[in-house]
C-alpha cells in the first residue's frame, strides 16, 4: 500500500509524493495523469540505470511516452558544469521541445542535476523525481532545490524549481549498500529532531527496525520526513524566512567534517549525524540545550547505525572551515541549534564560544 503526501506551496502547482513498494511499474501511468508530454527524457546514473532503467522505460512507453535515456557516471562528479552542458546538448539533439518531461531516476546527484538542466533548458521544462536512495526519498527529491557544484564549492549554482510529481518506490532501497543506507538514516534523524517529540520518540522506538530496513517502518519514516519537508517548504520555499534553515541542522559542523577529512571518507549523512551531536553540545554551551536531549539523540544515532566518529582536527581550522560555508551571512556563522526535539533556533554564537566548545569536543575525541 502506498502513502500519498501532497506538497502544497503558495504560488506553485501542488504535487503528490507517492511512497511505497512496487511503484516503478506504474510510474508511466501516473506521469501520464499529470503530463501530456510526448517525450520523456530519462536521466539516471550508471548504477541505478543498470538496475531500474528498463522497468521505468517500459512503463513510460506503455503510457505513450517516446523515451530518450541518458546515463551519467554514478557519483558526485556528475553534478558538474561539463555534465550539465552535455545534458543540455543531448536534449537539443533529441529535439526536445518545451513540452518534454524530464524524469530523474536515481539518488540526490541525479535529482539535483536533472532538476537543474530541466529548469534551465528552454527556460524550463517540467521534471519529475523518481528517487532511489533513502536520502533522496526523505530530502532531496522534495522541495525544489536543484544544483551543480563548482570547484569553489558544492551546490553553488542552482535553481528553486518544484517537480511535477515524486515517485518513491521503496523496494528500490533493497539494493542500496550499508553506507548509503546509514547516510539516509542521518537525514531521517535530522528530520525527527527538528520535527518534534512525536517523530523523535517514534523513531527512537523504531530505530532498530529502521536500521534493519523493515518495509513498514521505512515507509512511515519516509512519509514523516516528506510531511515535515512539505510543511517547511510551504512556509519558506526559498529559505528566506528563517524556517527552511532548520533542515540544515547538523550540516555546519558536518560539512566541515566532510571537507577536512576529505570528501568521501565519511558519508554526508554520517557527517551530518556527527554535526547533530556537536550542535546539541553547542546548544547546551549557549544555554539553549540540555544534556538529556543530547544523550537521547546520541542513543538514537547509535541505534540507527551512525556511531560517533573519531574525527578530530584543529579547532581553529574547523572554525575557519565552517565560516567558509555558504550559509554564513555578514561573516557570522548561522548555527541551527535544537534545544529539545522540535524546539530549534538559529543562533550566531561568538567565535570564543564556538572555539571553546570545539576544543572540548576535540579533547573528548582524543581522550
Which residues are known to be catalytic? 123, 145, 187, 229, 239, 244, 248, 251, 255, 268
- Which residues contact ligand NAD (rule: CB under 6 A)? 45, 47-48, 51, 74-76, 79, 106-110, 112, 132-133, 135-136, 139-140, 143, 145, 154-155, 172, 175-176, 180, 183
Residue 206 has φ and ψ, to the nearest 5°, of -110, 15
Candidates 42-50, 97-105, 139-147, 252-260; binding stretch for ligand GLY (CB under 6 A): 139-147
The nearer residue to ligand GLY, 139 or 274, going by C-beta atoms, is: 139
Q: What is the DSSP code string of 256-312?
A: HHHHHH-TTSS-HHHHHHHHHHHHHHHHHHTTS--HHHHHHHHHHHHHTT-PPP---
Strands 3-7 and 127-131 come out as: unpaired
C-alpha to C-alpha distance for 239 and 336, rounded to whole angstroms: 13
Candidates 51-59, 138-146, 167-175, 279-287; binding stretch for ligand GLY (CB under 6 A): 138-146
- Considering only residues 230 to 249 of the shown chain, the ones binding ligand GLY according to CB under 6 A are 244, 247
Distance of CA 230 to the CA centre of its chain: 13
Q: Which partner in ligand GLY, ligand NAD, none is near 244 (CB below 5 to 8 A by kind)?
A: ligand GLY
The nearer residue to ligand GLY, 145 or 270, going by C-beta atoms, is: 145
Point out which residues pair with 238 in neighbouring strands.
none
- In angstroms, give the least distance from the CB of 234 to ligand NAD: 15
The nearer residue to ligand NAD, 218 or 286, going by C-beta atoms, is: 218
C-alpha to C-alpha distance for 337 and 283, rounded to whole angstroms: 6
At 302, list the grid cell.
547509535
The alpha carbons of the chain give a radius of gyration, in whole angstroms, of 20
At 49, list the grid cell.
540505470
The nearer residue to ligand GLY, 78 or 248, going by C-beta atoms, is: 248
Strands 101-106 and 127-131 come out as: parallel
- In angstroms, give the least distance from the CB of 312 to ligand GLY: 27
The nearer residue to ligand GLY, 71 or 140, going by C-beta atoms, is: 140
- Considering only residues 142 to 201 of the shown chain, the ones binding ligand GLY according to CB under 6 A are 143, 145
Q: Which partner in ligand GLY, ligand NAD, none is near 186 (CB below 5 to 8 A by kind)?
A: none
C-alpha to C-alpha distance for 165 and 168, rounded to whole angstroms: 10
C-alpha to C-alpha distance for 88 and 117, rounded to whole angstroms: 7
Give how many residues touch ligand GLY by CB under 6 A. Answer: 5
Interface residues with ligand GLY (CB under 6 A)?
139, 143, 145, 244, 247
Amino acid at each position: 500500500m502506498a502513502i500519498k503526501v501532497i506538497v502544497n506551496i503558495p504560488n506553485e502547482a501542488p504535487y503528490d509524493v507517492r511512497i511505497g513498494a512496487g511503484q516503478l511499474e506504474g510510474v508511466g501511468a501516473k506521469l501520464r495523469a499529470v503530463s501530456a508530454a510526448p517525450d520523456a527524457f530519462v536521466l539516471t546514473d550508471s548504477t541505478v540505470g543498470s538496475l531500474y532503467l528498463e522497468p521505468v522505460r517500459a512503463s513510460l512507453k506503455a503510457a505513450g511516452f517516446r523515451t530518450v535515456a541518458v546515463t551519467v557516471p554514478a557519483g558526485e562528479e556528475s553534478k558538474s558544469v561539463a555534465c550539465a552542458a552535455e545534458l543540455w546538448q543531448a536534449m537539443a539533439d533529441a529535439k526536445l521541445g518545451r513540452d518534454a518531461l524530464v524524469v530523474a531516476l536515481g539518488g540526490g546527484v541525479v535529482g539535483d542535476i536533472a532538476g537543474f538542466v530541466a529548469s534551465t533548458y528552454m527556460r524550463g521544462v517540467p521534471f519529475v523525481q523518481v528517487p532511489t536512495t533513502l536520502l533522496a526519498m526523505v530530502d532531496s527529491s522534495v522541495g525544489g532545490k536543484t544544483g551543480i557544484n563548482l570547484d569553489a564549492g558544492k551546490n553553488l549554482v542552482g535553481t528553486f524549481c518544484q517537480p511535477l510529481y515524486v515517485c518513491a518506490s521503496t523496494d528500490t532501497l533493497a539494493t542500496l549498500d550499508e553506507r548509503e543506507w546509514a547516510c539516509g538514516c542521518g537525514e531521517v534523524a535530522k528530520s525527527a529532531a527538528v520535527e518534534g517529540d512525536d517523530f523523535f520518540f517514534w523513531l527512537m522506538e523504531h530505530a532498530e527496525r529502521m536500521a534493519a530496513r523493515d518495509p513498514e517502518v521505512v515507509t512511515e519514516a519516509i512519509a514523516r520526513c516528506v510531511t515535515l519537508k512539505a510543511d517547511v517548504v510551504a512556509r519558506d520555499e526559498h529559505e528566506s524566512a528563517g524556517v527552511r534553515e532548520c533542515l540544515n541542522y547538523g550540516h555546519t559542523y558536518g560539512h566541515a567534517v566532510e571537507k577536512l577529512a576529505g570528501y568521501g571518507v565519511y558519508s554526508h549523512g554520517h557527517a551530518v549525524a556527527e554535526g547533530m551531536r556537536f550542535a546539541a553540545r553547542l546548544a547546551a554551551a549557549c544555554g539553549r540545550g540540555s544534556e538529556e536531549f543530547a544523550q537521547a539523540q546520541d542513543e538514537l544515532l547509535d541505534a540507527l547505525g551512525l556511531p560517533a566518529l573519531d574525527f578530530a582536527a584543529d579547532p581553529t581550522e574547523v572554525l575557519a572551515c565552517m565560516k567558509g560555508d555558504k550559509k554564513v551571512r555578514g561573516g557570522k556563522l548561522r548555527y541551527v541549534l535544537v534545544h529539545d526535539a522540535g524546539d530549534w533556533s538559529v543562533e550566531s554564537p561568538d567565535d570564543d564560544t564556538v572555539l571553546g566548545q570545539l576544543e572540548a569536543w576535540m579533547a573528548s575525541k582524543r581522550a
